[in-house]
Amino acid sequence: MLDKEEYQLIIDASVLYYLEGKTQSEVAKTLYLSRPKVSRLLKKARELQIVDITINYQNDEFEKLQSEIRRTFDLPHVVITKTLSDKNDTLIEVGKAAAKELLMMLHEDMTLGISWGKHVRTTAKYLKKTAYDNMRIVELFGAISYDLDQTDMLSIGRSISSKLGGKLYPLPSPIYINDSIARKAIVETPLIKGTLNMIENCDLILTGIGSIYSNTLQTLWDNYVDNEMKSQIVKNGGIGFVLAHFFDQNGNFLDMEVNDNVIGIKTESIKNKKIIAVASGEKKAKAILGALRGGLINTLVSDEATLNYVLQLNEKLK
CATH number at 4-47: 1.10.10
The backbone torsions φ and ψ at residue 209, rounded to the nearest 5 degrees and listed phi first, read -130, 125
**For residues 148 and 137, is the Cβ–Cβ distance under 8 A?**
no
pTM of the predicted model, to two decimals? 0.82
Distances (CA, A) of 299 to 102, 144, 162, 210, 237: 10, 25, 24, 16, 25
Q: Where do the domains of the chain lie?
A: 4-47, 60-316
- What residues have CB less than 8 Å from 297, skipping those under 6 apart? 75, 207, 209, 242, 275, 276, 277, 291
Cα 281 from Cα 117, distance rounded (Å) = 14
- Segment 304-313, tens digit of pLDDT: 999 999 999 9
pLDDT of residue 222: 62
Cα 305 from Cα 83, distance rounded (Å) = 6
Q: Please report, rounded to a whole number, the percentage of residues in the chain having pLDDT higher than 90.
A: 65
pLDDT of residue 150: 41
- Segment 218-246, tens digit of pLDDT: 555 666 777 788 889 999 999 999 999 99
pLDDT of residue 57: 61
**Closest alpha carbon to 261 in 181, 175, 166:** 175
Fold of the 60-316 domain: Rossmann fold (3.40.50)
The pLDDT mean for the chain works out to 89
pLDDT (mean) for 83-104: 93
